[in-house]
Amino acid sequence: MLVNRRTLRIEWGQCDPAGIVFYPQYLMIFDSSTGWLFERTGLKPLEMRRKYRIVGMPIVEVGARFLKPCRFDDEVVVESEVGEWGRTSFTVRHRLLKGRELALEGFEKRVWAAAHPERAGEIQAQAIPAEIVACLSDPIGTTTVGSTPKV
């Protein structure tokens, strides 16, 4: 699988009175990290929505295990990759590293979702396009759909 890596600095406003990251903030990092992973297809989020007529990739399940606390000003690396492909859903696995230590790991299960053709305001899971699967399954990251690859 293609692993996307981001380097982040823990911000003051992400930390709590114990001086460590307030845990829901990690889930916000997961959410944006999934966004950056999918940009490795060469499509920016809105381009992807337009091209495949999806409304997004709504979450159906999330989980995380917290191993080491992170503090204000820590530099951390987030590694994200698709862990499993279903027909209409997929799981993104995230690891957050502080130096060589694994600080936390988690996953998001999401659905490839279009607007429901008949029921307004509702969504409908759709088959994930083979080319998206191909891009994000390529460990080298050279397979792209769009013209604006982001490394």
Hey, which residues are catalytic here?
16
Size of the site for a second copy (CB under 8 A): 36
CB of 77 to a second copy, least distance (A): 18
DSSP secondary structure, the chain, as one string: ---EEEEEE--GGGB-TTSBB-THHHHHHHHHHHHHHHHTTT--HHHHHHHHT--B--EEEEEEEE-S--BTT-EEEEEEEEEEE-SSEEEEEEEEEETTEEEEEEEEEEE-EEE-SSSTT-EEE-PPPHHHHHHHH-TT----SSS----
User: For the window 42-81, what string marks contact with a second copy as x by the rule CB under 8 A?
Assistant: --xxx--------xx-xxxxxxxxx--x-xxx--------
Q: Which of 5, 6, 35, 141 binds a second copy (CB under 8 A)?
A: 35
The residue ranges that bind a second copy (CB under 8 A) are: 11-13, 15-20, 22-25, 27-28, 31-32, 35, 44-46, 55-56, 58-66, 69, 71-73
